[in-house]
A and B are shown apart, each in its own frame.
Chain A
Amino acid sequence: MSGAKIILESLLQEGVEAIFGFPGGVILPIYDVLLDSPLKHILVRHEQAAAHAADGYSRASGRVGVCLVTSGPGATNVVTGVATAYMDSIPMVVITGQVPTAMIGNDSFQEADIVGITRPCTKHNYLVKDVKDLAITIKEAFHIAATGRPGPVLVDVPKDVILSETNFHYPENIYMRSYNPTYDGHQGQILKAAKAIVKGKRPVIYAGGGVVNSGASEELIKLAKKVHAPVTTTLLGLGSFPSNSPLSLGMLGMHGAWHTNMAVSHTDLILAVGARFDDRVTGKIEEFAPGALVIHIDIDPSTISKNVRVDIPVVGDARNVLAKLNEVLETLPDQVNLKERRQWIKQIQEWKRAHPLAYEQSDRIIKPQFVVEEISNLTKGEAIITTEVGQSQMWAAQFYQFLRPRTFLSSGGLGTMGYGFPAAMGAQVAFPDKLVIDIAGDGSFQMNLQELATVVQYELPVKVAILNNGCLGMIRQWQELFFACRYSHSELPGTPDFVKLAEAYGAVGLRATKPEEVRPALEKAFSIPKPVIIDFQVDPEECVFPMVPAGAAIKDMILGKPRPAEPKRLLRSVK
């Protein structure tokens, strides 16, 4: 069997159903064999979108996403997508072609040292020099991508290896002596953690992307209810705890709600599960949760005590450890002091009443937050939401009520603009019958809008809700708040008419310019079984609040603009 066939057969053995890719010189032999393969292949229009689509496919379904690109520019184009997956710990296997082994290092046509380039941003990578190692390398790649703390794995295959023939044998099991992640937490540590949780007077559970990756949502809900502790999630943890629960605090950190950040600043016990105390969450580390006892459950020992000193570390898989924790809590003699807990929850409710997540409503101009709220109301938390990066991302996180894990796909760690649309594509391929909505900004959407051709070709009825404010919103916000309104290159003249653009690609385009047009536009979009772009012309002066300024403690949030908004500083007028 040729190397090309071995690659495809190995993917089938791993249970892969769909791959995202773009052909090129060195991988033509693979594409030739692909024509006769049952594997579904989605041809994208830019390799970066192939990587983001594989990422979105993986986040939505929990399976390993796969993308296939050629050498040289094809490989360098996926680097952003691979780095995005690496920062957010998403299981993905990227297969890149490479020039023949004899020509490596010779500055050959379309050659790039992609293994060297992606060494810091992949969980692991391989250069396959012998076709006999190809099958086992792919098996190892999938194993590494999906186990422990997941991450992207890149397999670089030179053209002569693709063309060589050998016997195909896909190994049943592999054992890697240097790689053995710990899944079961240490019993003694779990007992210590359980006792601490019971004793805590004002606990907060801080859940991150690890809860989603591990499928630990049910155990988390059980735990929170058992110990009567409020739960806050990171951006990547949204959906792991239902937003409509009375114990839900929503997102914390730089753009978290007032009451959430206050709760975290006044807690005496933080139970961190599958989260990494990222700088967007902690703000000024020295003043993060002062005096709180920190319990950290994580599958990756290197995240524990990396930023925040941890008192009770538990290395293990979130679901396994939480299940054990729940069991142990049943057996403990001491019970939770319900009176103290209720007092704590009451205090949090007071904070919420003092400064709820709100925005200035208007019936004259569309507020971007209103669009997100309407989407949330209409879909009742059942849709899969992807976002781009910036203000649109933050409003989606704040105002959409997430009920289930794997319904919020967003680039958190790397913050990649242009992620949302191809990720929505990937999610739609994973779930053809679900409603998938990309909440985008006009800046971000233009980064990967060429994928409109892909969604039309494969009839993927993705909906894109563009919060069109004619500028790079988050940049504009920072310039307004911290650079005295000196708007340096944050305006976007020359943005196309999105309705005409959608129609040019063969999709459907809708527009809403007044608040009363928002709901009908959404309802219409959701009912059309085709890809739809909805251009919401929103207020360009809106800012995301609360906001923790860079370097400040998270309790020092800005709640509103410090001075009245400067009159007309932006080029574009609201049509």
Chain B
Amino acid sequence: MRHTISILVENRFGVLSRVSGLFSGRGFNIESLSVGETLDPTVSRMTVVVQGDDQIVEQIKKQLNKLIDVIKVIDLTGEEFVERELILVKVNAEPSVRAEVLRIADIFRAKVVDVAPKAYTLESTGDESKVMALLELLRPYGIQEVVRTGKVAIARARKVPVEEEKKPAKKPAGKVVGFRE
């Protein structure tokens, strides 16, 4: 089963290497990985998609927690979450098919970011199913090159309000925002 794991790590030199080394050293398979800073510049967030049965994923989460630089491990799989990835596709755009390609791009709300006599480069963001669908539809026209980012994911906010929750007027300086305690 596929699991999407969100990891908060100290933004220190070598952290990416530690996490990927952990996966390769123990034979866990990473399907995709993306990482970037959070609002707090000393904290980075890594989003990792792994494949494995429950026992293996349990071990992965425990081993990640063991790393000194890992602050928090959140398995988004069990909850509601929003997942996106970005894709850049260079597709054949000869005069005979140019209109069709543009129409497909339109339907998917993909942007054209580069134009050439024989090729268009399209940019699209979406969840996995949307991205795969776009690629499938473009395939007959001849895809020259595809570049995908890793998936990023964020948990959905609570829809039902909780009574005691008071929003403070202003966050004190230096506090980490967007951190779920």
Cα separation A123 to B22 with both chains bound (whole Å): 12
Q: B59 touching A306 by the CB < 8 A rule?
A: yes
A306 (CB) vs chain B CBs: closest residue: B59
Chain A residues within 8 Å of B10, by CB? 178
Whether B68 and A179, one on each chain, are in contact in the complex, defined by CB atoms closer than 8 angstroms, is yes
Given that A119-B18, A127-B13, A178-B10 are known contacts, is A144 also in contact with B63, CB under 8 Å in the complex? no
Count of interface residues, chain A, beta-carbon cutoff 8 Å: 18
Q: Residue-by-residue, is A163-188 near B (CB-CB < 8 Å gives 1, otherwise 0)?
A: 00000000000001111000000000
| CB contact under 8 A between A301 and B21, given known A115-B14, A178-B10, A178-B71 | no
- Chain B min CB distance to A300 (Å): 7
Residues of B within 8 A of A119 (CB): 14, 17-18, 21
The one of A124, A300, A306 in contact with B68, judged by C-beta atoms closer than 8 angstroms, is A124
Q: Is A116 an interface residue when CB atoms closer than 8 A count as contact?
A: yes
With A124-B68, A178-B10, A179-B68 known as contacts, the answer to whether A302 contacts B21 (CB < 8 A) is no
- A396–B62 Cα distance when bound, in Å, is 35
Taking CB atoms, residues of chain B closer than 8 Å to A115 are 14
Of residues 287 through 334 on chain A, the ones whose CB sits less than 8 Å from some CB of chain B are: 300-302, 305-306
Contact (Cβ within 8 A) A305 B58: yes
Residue contact A302 to B62, C-beta cutoff 8 Å:
yes
A560 neighbours in B (Cβ, 8 Å): none
Interface 1/0 per residue, B16-33 and A, CB below 8 Å: 011001100100000000
Say whether B96 faces chain A, with CB atoms less than 8 Å apart. no
A120 at the interface (CB under 8 A from B): yes
B68 x A176 contact (CB < 8 A)? yes
Known: A115-B14, A119-B18, A127-B13. A305 touches B68 (CB 8 A): no
Q: In chain B, residues 86-124, which have Cβ atoms closer than 8 Å to a Cβ of chain A?
A: none
- Give the distance in Å from the alpha carbon of A176 to the alpha carbon of B68 in the complex: 9
Residues on A with beta carbons closer than 8 Å to the beta carbon of B62: 301-302
Partner of A178, one of B14, B17, B21, B70: B70
Q: Is the CB of A300 within 8 A of B13?
A: no
Cβ of B69 within 8 Å of any chain A Cβ, yes or no, is yes
Identity of the chain B residue whose Cβ is nearest the Cβ of A179 in the assembled complex = B68
In the assembled complex, the CB of B80 is this many whole angstroms from the nearest CB of chain A, namely 27
Residues of B within 8 A of A177 (CB): 71
Known: A119-B18, A301-B62, A302-B59. A178 touches B69 (CB 8 A): yes
From A115, A178, A301, residue with most partner B Cβ within 10 Å: A178
B55 contacts chain A at the CB level, 8 A cutoff? yes
Judge whether B159 is part of the interface by a CB distance below 8 angstroms: no
Do B66 and A144 touch across chains, with their CB atoms under 8 A apart?
no
Q: Give min CB distance, B148 to chain A, whole Å.
A: 28
Distance A402 CA – B69 CA, assembled complex (angstroms): 39
When distances are taken between beta carbons in the complex, the residues of chain B under 8 Å from A129 are 13
Is B65 an interface position by the 8 A CB rule? yes
Q: Which residues of the other chain, B, contact A144 by a CB distance below 8 angstroms? A: 68
Q: Are B55 and A178 in contact (CB under 8 A)?
A: no
A566: min CB distance to chain B, Å: 40
Please report the C-alpha to C-alpha distance between residue A129 and residue B13 in the assembled complex, in whole angstroms: 10
Bound Cα distance from A119 to B26, whole angstroms: 13
Most chain A CB neighbours (cut-off 10 Å) among B13, B21, B25, B66? B66
Contact with A along B47-81 (1 / 0, CB 8 A): 00000000100110011011011110000000000
Give the chain B neighbours of A302 by CB distance below 8 A: 59, 62-63, 65-66
Contact A116 B17 (CB under 8 A): yes
The answer for the CA separation of A144 and B21 in the assembled complex, in Å, is 20
CA distance A177 to B13 in the complex (A): 17
Q: Provided the pairs A302-B59, A305-B58 are in contact, do residues A123 and B68 lie with their beta carbons within 8 angstroms?
A: yes
- Which residues of B lie under 8 Å from residue A123 when comparing CB positions? 68
Closest A residue by C-beta to B21: A119
- Name the residue on B nearest A148 (C-beta): B66
Interface string of A130-146 (1 = CB under 8 A from B): 00000000000000100
- Shortest Cβ distance from A309 into B: residue: B55
Q: Which residue of B lies closest to A300 (CB)?
A: B66
A120 to B25, CA, bound (A): 7
A220 to B21, CA, bound (A): 37
Cα distance, A119 to B18, chains bound together (Å): 7
The CA of A305 and the CA of B55, in the complex, are separated in Å by: 8
Contacts of B71 in A (CB 8 A): 177-178
Residues of B within 8 A of A301 (CB): 62, 65
The listed residue (B14, B21, B59, B65) touching A120 by CB distance below 8 A is B21
**CA of A302 to CA of B67, assembled, Å:** 11
13 A-B pairs with CB atoms under 8 Å apart are A115-B14, A116-B17, A119-B17, A120-B21, A120-B22, A123-B68, A124-B68, A127-B14, A178-B10, A178-B68, A178-B71, A302-B59, A302-B62
Chain A to chain B: the 6 pairs with minimum beta-carbon distance, closest first: A302-B62, A178-B71, A124-B68, A120-B25, A179-B68, A119-B21
* Chain B contacts to A: CB under 8 angstroms: 9-10, 13-14, 17-18, 21-22, 25, 55, 58-59, 62-63, 65-66, 68-71
Residues of A within 8 A of B (CB): 115-116, 119-120, 123-124, 127, 129, 144, 176-179, 300-302, 305-306
15 more contacts with CB within 8 A, not counting A119-B21, A178-B68, A300-B66, are A116-B17, A120-B21, A120-B25, A123-B68, A124-B69, A144-B68, A176-B68, A177-B71, A178-B71, A302-B62, A302-B63, A302-B65, A302-B66, A305-B58, A306-B59
